């Protein structure tokens, strides 16, 4: 049996980008993306606080391949803030693709962080846009609420989940990724690279079966 992970009141569960476009049939479907939904639903009942995130791009966002004539999805380009992978148009504001997956049953969520809404900057992390300096405000929210540790599930392991976990540590929070509550794109080895970065940052990785009933003390 795994060592029990007991949620505390100073923990926040962050459910990252469980949106239609990242699930099967979506514009940027992550293989098995919808499989994270029951894990997220189950874990949300074991934490006192849950936060959701959404990619929320305006039409014609700079990270879309369609905004770069002659470029194709998954090409790499240099942006003013650094290297950027170009994506299919996805999670466009107020579209079905941007909506949270219908199976997500977390009505008790206390905050929704929308990211990627700046037209010229992509955003993987729940804490920062990809220029690594423009904040979403999540760190301040967590601090003011007195949270000291974040637990992450969602999509995709190797992009938005990993960047969020690393930035949580950067801000002084402990970070835990629930591995079976995430799925990866794994683009050209991106999953192994993300796992190495998270390990180097001190992110803990556990399975959902380790999450015990909470003491919430």
Catalytic residues: 17, 115, 160
**40 phi/psi in degrees, rounded to 5:** -60, -45
Token pair for 89: 């148009």
Are 43 and 179 a contacting pair, CB within 8 Å? no
Name every residue whose Cβ is closer than 8 Å to that of residue 36 and which is 6 or more positions away in sequence: 18, 153, 154, 155, 181, 182, 183
**One-letter-per-residue 3-state SS of the chain:** CCCCECCCCCEEEEEECCEHHHCCCCCCCCCCHHHHHHHHHHHHCCCCCEEEEEECECCCCCCEHHHCCCCCCCCEEEECCEEEECECCCCECCCHHHCECCCCCCCCCCEEEEECCCCCCCCCCCCECCCCCCECCHHHHHHHHCCCEEEEEEECHHHHHHHHHHHHHHCCCEEEEEEEEEECCCCCCHHHHHHHHHHHHCCEEECHHHECCCCCC
């Amino acid at each position: 049996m795994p060592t029990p992970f007991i949620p505390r009141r100073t923990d926040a569960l962050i459910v990252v980008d469980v949106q239609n476009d990242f699930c099967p049939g979506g514009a940027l479907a992550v293989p098995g993306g919808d499989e994270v939904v029951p894990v997220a639903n189950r874990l949300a009942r074991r934490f006192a606080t849950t936060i959701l995130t959404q990619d929320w791009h305006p039409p014609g966002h700079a990270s879309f391949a369609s905004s770069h004539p002659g470029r194709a999805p998954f090409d790499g380009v240099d942006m003013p803030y650094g290297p950027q992978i170009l994506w299919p148009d996805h999670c466009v504001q107020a579209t079905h693709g941007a909506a949270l997956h219908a199976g997500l049953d977390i009505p008790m969520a206390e905050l929704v962080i929308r990211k990627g809404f700046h037209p010229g900057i992509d955003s993987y992390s729940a804490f920062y846009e990809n220029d690594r300096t423009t904040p979403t405000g999540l760190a301040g929210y967590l601090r003011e609420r007195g949270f000291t540790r974040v637990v992450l599930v969602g999509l995709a392991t190797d992009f938005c989940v990993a960047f969020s976990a690393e930035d949580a540590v950067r801000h002084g929070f402990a970070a835990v990724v629930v591995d079976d509550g995430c799925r990866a794109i794994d683009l050209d080895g991106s999953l192994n690279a993300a796992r190495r970065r998270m390990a180097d940052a001190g992110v803990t990785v556990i399975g959902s079966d380790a999450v015990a009933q909470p003491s919430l003390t």
